[in-house]
Amino acid sequence: MTDGDHVVLLDDDGNPVGTAPKSSVHGTETALHLAFSCHVLNAHGQVLVTRRALDKKTWPGVWTNSFCGHPRPAEPVLSAVRRRGEFELGIRLTDIELALPLFRYRAVDAGGIVENEICPVYIARTDDEVAPNPLEVAEARWVDPDELGASLITTPWAFSPWLVLQSQQLRLFESPQLQRRAS
């Protein structure tokens, strides 16, 4: 097994305490581990939302932020963000900003699978055409941040719990970072 198949396990204070195979950490007893989320904007100020592939172990088919992932052991988180943007969506990222360095959540899906992550949240930009990897992404859409924000308020059950929580902390539909239009 390669390092790419492992995630970084964390203690309650967020300190690395080891690694585990990625396939073993998403179950009914999920250990706290390191992840990240990224919200991608285009030149029109739209944010990319994706619908998770139907074969995903957690929240299959649910609409979520642009993409998420797990840094490999010893991999800088920013490198992992770039790697997963290319792998999941076929895009190169620019202007990557750390928006929520200490975001943490625990959620249980309908099948009893637990997500338990310390998950720094990034905002980035791209000018690339999105080419979703079907193993990861069923659909991708560019949407207006205000419209997404309204949908998150009126139908939170239609989205991943981490997107709903992140949007509350980012104030996604009011965020100057997301509202900023390219000149």
**Tell me, what's the pLDDT at 107?**
94
The DSSP annotation for 116-168 comes to EEE--EEEEE--SPP---TTTEEEEEEE-HHHHHHHHHH-GGGB-HHHHHHHH
Residue from 68, 88, 115, 119 carrying the catalytic annotation: 68
The SS3 of residue 95 is strand
**Tell me, what's the pLDDT at 146?**
87
For the chain, give me the number of helices (H) and strands (E)? 5, 12
**Tell me, what's the pLDDT at 4?**
59
Q: Which of 158, 180, 154 is nearest to 46 (CA)?
A: 180
Neighbours of 113 (CB within 10 A): 17
The gap between the terminal CA atoms of the chain, to the nearest Å, is 47
Q: What is the pLDDT along the chain (183 residues), one digit of tens a residue?
A: 344 589 999 999 999 999 999 888 888 889 999 999 999 999 999 999 999 999 998 899 999 999 999 999 999 999 999 999 999 999 999 999 999 999 999 999 888 999 999 999 999 999 999 999 999 999 999 999 989 988 998 999 999 999 999 998 986 555 444 444 333
Neighbours of 154 (CB within 10 A): 8
Residue from 38, 88, 115, 117 carrying the catalytic annotation: 117
**Tell me, what's the pLDDT at 178?**
42
The SS3 of residue 45 is coil
**Tell me, what's the pLDDT at 27?**
82
> What span, in angstroms and rounded, lies between the C-alpha atoms of 32 and 53?
24
Its pTM stands at 0.90
**Tell me, what's the pLDDT at 57?**
86
Q: Which of 62, 73, 67 is nearest to 25 (CA)?
A: 73
Return the structure tokens found at 135: 């193993």
Neighbours of 162 (CB within 10 A): 21
Q: Is 68 a catalytic residue?
A: yes
Return the structure tokens found at 166: 């992140």
Neighbours of 1 (CB within 10 A): 8
**Tell me, what's the pLDDT at 133?**
97
Neighbours of 18 (CB within 10 A): 13
